[in-house]
Copies of this chain bind each other. A is one copy, B any other.
């Protein structure tokens, strides 16, 4: 049985996510999804994160193939890289203040370098809990899709439509008077898999993979683009 105080917290989280059919939620699973391995090595969210990663990937791929089927496969892959990245997941987790619901050791909570990773892991575990509650995506899509839409719109609203490298170049020239640098690695010479990193001002802003150098750079640029836009001072609307 779940502690009544904990249950109240979890109901508040479901409310924050905007979930209407809370009766469908398996609260025990949602509870476990928010327990970090730093708190308990035995009862924690690590298996649910393992599952949630795959739940997220299918939700995101369905979103892309339904909404952006006119795009090239390279653009779709770049968008997917961005939407499933730890950066994106952690940013969504921050919006909902997910760390307030997490059970973790004080040391892990104080580790700022690990923050992106534990937030992303917890959000993935929450996706697994919600998927397992209903065996479909009905508890997930209503609140996750608006975020996916917002990020996809940001990416595709660039003047260099869908060409993330060109859009990134325009952005960095306009705001930092410098060009991004791409650092390449060949991950797998047999399967022709490449990894690109985008560096600017001594930081790596995005990472992406692809079956050729261009595709890997586009994927990395798509991640960096959203990150760098988010780092700009907000314009008044």
Contact = CB atoms under 8 A, between A and B. Distances in A.
Interface in A60-77: 60-62, 65, 69, 73, 76-77
Contacts of A53: 61
Interface in A190-208: 190-191, 195, 204, 207
Interface of A: 46-47, 50-51, 53-55, 57-58, 60-62, 65, 69, 73, 76-77, 135-136, 185, 187-188, 190-191, 195, 204, 207
Contacts of A73: 46-47, 50
A77 B46 CA distance: 12
Interface SS, A side: helix
A54 B50 contact: no
11 contacts: A47-B65, A47-B69, A50-B61, A50-B76, A50-B77, A54-B62, A55-B58, A57-B58, A187-B195, A190-B207, A191-B207
A46 B207 CA distance: 24
A207 B195 contact: no
Nearest to A84: B54
A51 B47 contact: no
A125 to B, nearest CB: 12
